[in-house]
Amino acid sequence: MRKRIYEIINLAAEDDTASAIYDKFMIAVIIISIIPLLFKSTNAVFQITDKVTAIIFIADYMLRLITADYKYKKHSISSFIRYPFGAFAIIDVLSILPTFLPVNAGLKLFRILRLGKALRTLKFLRYSKTFNIIINVINKQRYSLMAVCYLSFGYVFLSALVMYSVEPESFDSFFYAIYWAVVTLTTVGYGDIYPVSITGRIVSMISSFAGIAIVALPTGIITAGFMTELTKDQDNK
């Protein structure tokens, strides 16, 4: 019985109608739960919608918890202890809690609670085969992506250090130099902080070109991995 529940609540197989219906139902519930967040004000209908969808999310969470041993393929209590610390389980909890927390500490707290509910959009990842392929790609390419992250952090720190040394008068602190390096790496270039000397501008140009190259690396890694996964998926059909 629990094994069948696990098969239904997880991403549907090609021939599993019940699982496909469950996926579509949960996607519809997620969409409905997000609608109240599109409005500044609330009303009785939104409040009821919020509570009903939250109860459905709780039921879904409990079903996943009691079948955690099938998820981790390890029939022991450690699977049930491990599940609440998974990424999706944490997203589930953070998206459910705001519904049942009292909003009595002013507007700022209300906005924080709305942020928690907005995490429900991430639940789409669980029910979409395409997103699951992307997650698999990121998981398989995690070491390459981590290497790119280390390279990016090193680039940011080195560029900030060089620019802070060349033009200390342009930055109030080293943090502002880090900020400048980040927006240069991402090629955003807000223009609120910029070098004024010839040397600083040369460093800035070199950093911009390096930034373009570094930003392109993870894109290429993920694209190559995604194409590989798509090919495998088509070969298995």
Q: Of 55-59, 158-162, 188-192, which gets the smallest average pLDDT?
A: 188-192
- Is residue 137 included in any domain, yes or no? no
- 45 three-class SS: helix
For residues 49 and 21, state if they share a domain: yes
For residues 147 and 189, state if they share a domain: yes
For residues 116 and 39, state if they share a domain: yes
Query: Which band of pLDDT confidence, cut at 50, 70 and 90, is reported for residue 106?
Result: very low
Q: In terms of pLDDT, which residue wins out, 105 or 84?
A: 84
Q: Of 24-38, 56-70, 116-130, which gets the smallest average pLDDT?
A: 116-130
For residues 11 and 117, state if they share a domain: yes
- Is residue 223 included in any domain, yes or no? yes
For residues 98 and 15, state if they share a domain: yes
For residues 181 and 101, state if they share a domain: no
pLDDT in tens, 204-225: 888 888 888 887 888 888 888 8
d(CA 179, CA 200): 15
Contact 179, 162 (CB under 8 A): no
Number of domains within the chain: 2
Could you give the residue ranges of the DSSP H alpha helices within 67-106? 68-71, 77-82, 87-100
Write down which residue in 127, 154, 177 finishes a domain. Answer: 127
d(CA 232, CA 226): 10
Output DSSP code: residue 121: G
Write down which residue in 127, 161, 183 finishes a domain. Answer: 127
pLDDT of residue 208: 82
pLDDT of residue 107: 46
For residues 120 and 151, state if they share a domain: no
pLDDT in tens, 116-168: 666 667 776 767 667 777 777 888 888 888 888 888 889 889 989 988 988 88
- Is residue 76 included in any domain, yes or no? yes
- Is residue 133 included in any domain, yes or no? no
Boundaries of domain holding 100: 2-127
Which of the residue ranges 90-94, 174-178, 191-195, 226-230 has the most confident prediction, judged by mean pLDDT?
174-178
For residues 109 and 181, state if they share a domain: no
As a whole number, the mean pLDDT across the chain is 81
For residues 160 and 185, state if they share a domain: yes
For residues 119 and 146, state if they share a domain: no
**Rounded to two decimals, what is the model's pTM?**
0.61
For residues 116 and 195, state if they share a domain: no
pLDDT of residue 90 exceeding 90: no
Q: Sign of the CA dihedral 226, 231, 236, 237?
A: positive
CATH number of 192's domain? 1.10.287.70
For residues 100 and 151, state if they share a domain: no
pLDDT of residue 108 exceeding 70: no
pLDDT of residue 112 exceeding 60: no
- Is residue 67 included in any domain, yes or no? yes
Contact 183, 190 (CB under 8 A): yes
CATH number of 69's domain? 1.20.120
